[in-house]
Structure 1
Amino acid sequence: MTTQSSIELKDLILKTDIGTYGPGDVVPDHHVLDLTLAIAPTLVLIEGDSMAQVFDYDDLVADIRHLAGQGHRDTQEWLVTQIAQLCARYTAIDAAEIYLRKVPVGDGTGTLGVRLAVDRADLARLAKAP
């Protein structure tokens, strides 16, 4: 078996403005992000307890929170795309799975979300995009 490692962020509530709603529509209370980042095992299976040896995800989380709060978006897909573009800036990230969902939907219960998985090649293309 090949050694694999990841960082998982679950249930991060984002303060964001997504969608257009009319009278009688259920307006989401919030949007929730799950993010799984594939990183090199050498950044997890370390020789000592030192931040210099690991991927420091704090900047990425701060970038995502800042991005989410920037203006109105019509779609969840656009914010997911922008989060993928942020991930592409970090060379330590080999792949990412992004799941963004809004709560509640429909009859006032449940969630509705968008999931995107990008690999190293996708991240390389996104990093080169203007």
Structure 2
Amino acid sequence: MTSIACVELKDLQLNTAIGTYAPGATIPNQHLLDLILWINPSLILIASDGMEHVFDYDPLVIEINRLAQDGQYETQERLLTRIVEACARHSEVESIEASLRKTPVLENSGMLGIRLSVDADTLKEIRSNLRTSN
């Protein structure tokens, strides 16, 4: 049997500003992030307790929070792209599933969002692009 492992973050409320809205439009008051980071199972199935044996996701959560507050975004897509790039900077991450959604959409109801799956090959390409742009 093959083992798979992930770090899962659900319903992280981001303090961010996304979009421009016409007068009278419903303005979302919540932006929620779900993130699944697929990692090597050896970073979860550990023989002894200690941070040196696991993927330390705290710095990534801090970076995601910083990115969310990094000015006005026109689209959810741009913020999610930057979050995926932040994840790609961590070599432990082998693939990513991410979704970003906002609520309300219309008169205090509904949720609207985007979802992205990034496989190992795409992640490798993103990492290559990040190295050449720095």
1:61 is matched with which residue? Answer: 61
1:24: Cα distance to partner? 1.3
1:35 is matched with which residue? Answer: 35
How many aligned positions are there?
130
- CA distance in structure 1 between the aligned counterparts of 2:84 and 2:121, rounded to whole angstroms: 12
Secondary structure, in 3 states, of the residue corresponding to 2:102? strand
Which amino acid is the alignment partner of residue 30 of structure 1? Answer: Q
Which amino acid is the alignment partner of residue 4 of structure 2? Answer: Q
1:110 is matched with which residue? Answer: 110
Which runs of 5 or more residues in structure 2 are unaligned? none
The 5 A counterparts of 1:68-107 are 68-107=68-107
CA contact (8 A) 1:19 1:74 kept: yes
- CA distance in structure 2 between the aligned counterparts of 1:88 and 1:45, rounded to whole angstroms: 22
Which amino acid is the alignment partner of residue 23 of structure 1? Answer: P
- CA distance in structure 2 between the aligned counterparts of 1:111 and 1:65, rounded to whole angstroms: 21
Which amino acid is the alignment partner of residue 60 of structure 2? Answer: L
1:8 is matched with which residue? Answer: 8
- Please give the root-mean-square deviation of Cα atoms over the aligned residues, in Å: 0.8
Secondary structure, in 3 states, of the residue corresponding to 2:42? helix
Q: TM-score, normalised by structure 1?
A: 0.97
1:106: Cα distance to partner? 1.9
CA contact (8 A) 1:7 1:38 kept: yes
Q: TM-score, normalised by structure 2?
A: 0.94
CA contact (8 A) 1:87 1:123 kept: no
- CA distance in structure 2 between the aligned counterparts of 1:117 and 1:21, rounded to whole angstroms: 28
